[in-house]
Amino acid sequence: MPFSSALESHRLFERVLRVRRNPVAAYGFAIAAVAVATLARWLLGSEVGEDVPFLTYFPAIVLAALVGGLGPGMLAIALAAAISWYLFLPPLFNWRLGEAGGLTLLLFVAVTGLTVTLVALLNAAVERVMAQEQNERVLIESSPSGIVVVDDEGTIRLINASTEKLFGYERAELLGRKVEVLVPQLKADAHRALREAFLRRPEARAMGAGRDLSGRRRDGSEFPVEIALNPVIRNGRTGVLATVIDISERRRAQERQQLMIRELHHRTHNLFAVIQSIASRTFVDGIDLAGAKQVFNGRLQALARAHTMLAEAAWSGAPLAELLRQEFAGFAEHLSISGCDIVVNAAAAQQFALIIHELATNAMKYGALSVPGGRVTVQGRIERRNGEATFSFRWQERGGPAVLAPTRKGFGSVILVDAARQFGHTVRLDYRPQGVNYELQLLLSAIAAPGSQPGEARLAAAPSRPA
């Protein structure tokens, strides 16, 4: 049985859907979950200590998001944060908050906010898959199904036109023959035993539930089927009416669904790793909390914009020029973009989003975009080096204040240089007095979205240059 069909028939899941579709019940569940978590945290206070103030709230928030959706999940975060602030973060029973407590609370809100968002995305993805499969199932089951009527000796007495089409037989070829002619030869004896057992205790039964069944066509080929059985009585004799449905398309839909779930799990795991890395390198000892929060939110927003573009394109890729335009919203008159009309894959979009954000942030704070007359030029170029197509990404600032090289290496440099070296094969970052210059060269095959043909005409016309 397909995954979504199993979910739809599960009583617990049906109740969850009813709660999610009722705002009062959904938000009430979130409040109740936080209340139970608070009581549990209060009772466990002496056991867990003050170092883990949010221990019981994580499962409550996840449950609120799973059952109620995004809104109730965010409400649970807000309630848990407020209650923990007042009751469990030192100084207790006070709205004052120390630096360590503030950082802990901020990390809690950020991590749980991301968790709730991912759970909401997972809910939406599962519901979309369920709706898609349900539509396919309706299309299959709304078409005329094969109907076979068999007497108590297993002899075929009646078939319909859909059965002829389904199994490839003419009507006259099946009438009067044993029903096992429609069953794979290796399973004929097992089917005969099941048929006799059904006739001893006849009742409506969906034989396909929990069992792999196959039909055999006239040419000997096999195909998966779902068979529903209903007893029929005629002239005092009990027979069987079998409704046969070809579920080949449903099996393919199930495989696509499982692939989507595995892909979602993979992307979620990678996203958590990226966010954990950003958080660990942003919130370091000695950094101002307000400044760290602003930097952290900016980096998360850059990632979120890239993921939104990828989601809208079904994860097929994101236009690099659009990533630049979204990051420079409000500075369009100071920006010149050329040669960036390529669609990059999901991994490249994530890396480019962070790189562009760091370059733009530095330009707005200290560089060309910090003064009215400054300009930023971004150029992309596709070339062929050593027989392989490469893409060069060049960033150049002019018209800003005199540039001084930083005296310490921050996480921005890690993104622009260290991470970029793993992403591309050549990286240059120059702090020239007239403006920052940045160049990143990558193999085009490593960043291009599947199926895209970026700049083929430009590549064919461009002369080859030695590396």
Q: What is the mean pLDDT of the chain?
A: 78
Q: Which two tokens stand for residue 6?
A: 């199993």
3-state secondary structure of 395: strand
pLDDT band at 209, cuts 50/70/90?
Answer: low
The pLDDT of residue 307 is 72
Is residue 281's pLDDT more than 60? no
Is residue 228's pLDDT more than 60? yes
Of the ranges 1-5, 6-10, 148-152, 284-288, which one carries the lowest mean pLDDT score?
1-5
Name all domains of the chain by residue range, CATH numbers in brackets: 3-141 (no CATH), 144-246 (3.30.450.20), 284-461 (3.30.565.10)
Of the ranges 42-46, 377-381, 409-413, which one carries the lowest mean pLDDT score?
409-413
**E runs forming strands in 176-236:** 205-206, 213-216, 222-234
Is residue 109's pLDDT more than 80? yes
User: What kind and span of H or E run contains 150?
Assistant: strand 146-150
* Closest alpha carbon to 397 in 362, 425, 422, 426: 362
- pTM confidence score: 0.41
The pLDDT of residue 136 is 53
**CA 100/CA 77 separation, integer angstroms:** 19
Whether cis (ω within 30° of 0) applies to the bond prior to 72 is no
Query: Could you tell me which residues come within 8 angstroms of residue 420 by beta carbon, excluding any fewer than 6 positions away?
Result: 351, 355, 427, 440
**CA 14/CA 69 separation, integer angstroms:** 15
Mean pLDDT of 140-158: 77
Residue type, 2: P
- Exposed, middle or buried: residue 325 (CB in 10 Å: 0-12, 13-18, 19+)? middle
**CA 457/CA 422 separation, integer angstroms:** 29
Q: Are 260 and 129 in contact (CB under 8 A)?
A: yes
**CA 137/CA 402 separation, integer angstroms:** 66
Q: Which two tokens stand for residue 177?
A: 């023959």
**CA 116/CA 164 separation, integer angstroms:** 52
Task: Classify residue 36 as left (phi > 0), alpha (psi -120 to 50) or beta.
Answer: alpha
The pLDDT of residue 304 is 77
User: Higher-confidence residue: 183 or 409?
Assistant: 183
Is residue 177's pLDDT more than 70? yes
What residues pair up with 159 in beta bridges, in sequence order?
148
Is residue 111's pLDDT more than 80? yes
Label residues 280-303 b or e (16+ Cβ within 10 Å = b).
Answer: ebbbeeeeeeeebbebbeebbebb
Q: Which two tokens stand for residue 131?
A: 């709706």
